[in-house]
Amino acid sequence: MGKARYFAVLLIGCRWVIIFLGNQLDCLWQILTQCFNTIMNATKRYAIFETFQKINPKPRTELEYSNPFELLIAVILSAQATDISVNKATRKLYPIANTPEAIAALDVEGLKPYIRTIGLFNTKAENVIKTCKALIAEHNSEVPNTREALEALSGVGRKTANVVLNTAFGMPTMAVDTHIFRVSNRTKIAPGKNVLAVEKNLLKFVPKPFLVDAHHWLILHGRYTCLARKPKCQECAISHLCEFKEKTF
């Protein structure tokens, strides 16, 4: 009986060792698979942005502006509005007033006729006038180049600040709008459950040589190719790299 118990304990021990090693091997395999996928994703991301760069070497915002102040005002006006509608308004506004002092002198009621065709123009007129007065009083009529100072201005949130920092000052920021959110999740370039998560993942995963221009490429791709309802996969230059499962051909 003594030997029988001994062998029974030994068998049970061996069984647990096998189970333990099996779990460790599973974990090791998962780690190796994750590493392999990361390498593949990094390769795909680089190829995607390299393709964007070849197609459009110098991407630009479609908002019309000639200096950081004009850009700031245009971006404030563009909230829940199209770039086309904003450009129509600023083409009339900027020849008359394109400095903080000149727009502030119009005051809210004087500004409204120029931007009346833009959605939420009443609120935007108030924000623009407050912003102009703040720039005059606190920033010597210059657009600040820090996130904190920009977000302290009326009508300027994180996305608007990111646009200005990137487009006016060449900083590697990501202004995630609906287009960038959609493209990042569909392609798996930088998936995320919310705007901030996508922004952080883009900053983490976009290859450094493409960081400054990535914001513009992704917006343009979402606006003209990777459409919300029916993406134009047959015309897409990165369809062979995209991991979207419901491609349309």
**Which residue shows structure tokens 């349309």?**
248
Q: 135 with 143: CB under 8 angstroms?
A: yes
- Please confirm, yes or no, whether 204 is among the known catalytic residues: no
Q: Which listed residue (44, 124, 159, 213) is catalytic?
A: 159
Q: 83 with 63: CB under 8 angstroms?
A: yes
- Longest pairwise C-alpha distance within the chain: 104
Q: 116 with 108: CB under 8 angstroms?
A: no
Q: Which listed residue (44, 124, 177, 213) is catalytic?
A: 177
Contacts of 163 (CB under 8 A, 6+ apart): 61, 71, 75, 173, 175, 215
**CA pair distance 182, 160, nearest whole angstrom:** 18
CA distances from 242 to 11, 45, 121, 134, 238 (A): 51, 9, 38, 44, 6
Helices (H) and strands (E) in the chain, counts: 10, 0
**CA pair distance 184, 14, nearest whole angstrom:** 48
- Cα dihedral sign for 13, 17, 19, 20? positive
- Please confirm, yes or no, whether 83 is among the known catalytic residues: no
Catalytic residue IDs: 159, 177
